[in-house]
Amino acid sequence: MEKTVLIPTDFSIASLNIVKNYLNEQPADVKLNIILLHGLHQTDSITSLLFCSKSRMLEELTSKEFNEGCHVLKNKYASQIRSIRKDVFSGFTQAAFNNYAEANRIDEVCIPILYNPRFNSKNSFDLLPYIKASKLPIQTIGSAVDVPMPEKGEVAELFFNRVSVS
């Protein structure tokens, strides 16, 4: 079985932790295409749009640590991950988001229980209102309590497994 899952991201290591937690909850025989989607308003300037490229925008938004974290996840979950793709949504309407979801054949959206994106760009925006208004199935994941970690924000955070003690 193959499915495509959309995960909103602020391009932080914490958002990659959501990917890891999601992968841990999936059956081993499911192959996943993961889209890490970021909301970004684009300029109205024609001159700026002429020289605008999505790959350059993604390069500016992502850090070296984030890209390294994506490679770590691809290697660690090689049997489950068919692809991980970073993308930018720059639409203004619910219809634009629904068209994006349909065009990318998104089967499910995964959002963390503690969804608190921290954007580095002033043009970034929260995708959650569009996601909640869509008819896509939403799976929430994670903990309702933010667990302090010594390696928070670093790639090593992806190797940290939360153990519940009762």
Q: Residue 27 maps to which CATH number?
A: 3.40.50.620
Query: On the CB side of 131, how many CA atoms lie within 13 Å of its CA?
Result: 25
Residue 46 lies in a domain: yes
Residue 144 lies in a domain: yes
Q: What is the pLDDT of residue 117?
A: 81
Q: What is the pLDDT of residue 164?
A: 41
Q: How many domains is the chain partitioned into structurally? A: 1
What gap in Å lies between CA 19 and CA 4, rounded to an integer?
Answer: 12
Residue 76 lies in a domain: yes
- pTM (two decimals): 0.83
Residue 121 lies in a domain: yes
Residue 165 lies in a domain: no
What gap in Å lies between CA 65 and CA 156, rounded to an integer?
Answer: 10
Q: Residue 145 belongs to what domain range?
A: 2-160
Q: What is the pLDDT of residue 159?
A: 63
Q: What is the pLDDT of residue 114?
A: 79
Residue 25 lies in a domain: yes
Residuewise pLDDT in 10s, the chain (166 residues): 899 999 999 998 888 888 998 999 999 899 999 999 999 988 777 887 777 788 888 898 899 999 999 999 999 999 999 999 999 999 989 999 999 999 999 999 999 887 778 888 888 999 999 999 999 999 998 765 555 555 566 666 666 665 443 3
Beta strands per DSSP E along 68-137: 81-89, 108-112, 124-125
Helix pair 64-76, 13-25: axis angle to 10 deg? 10
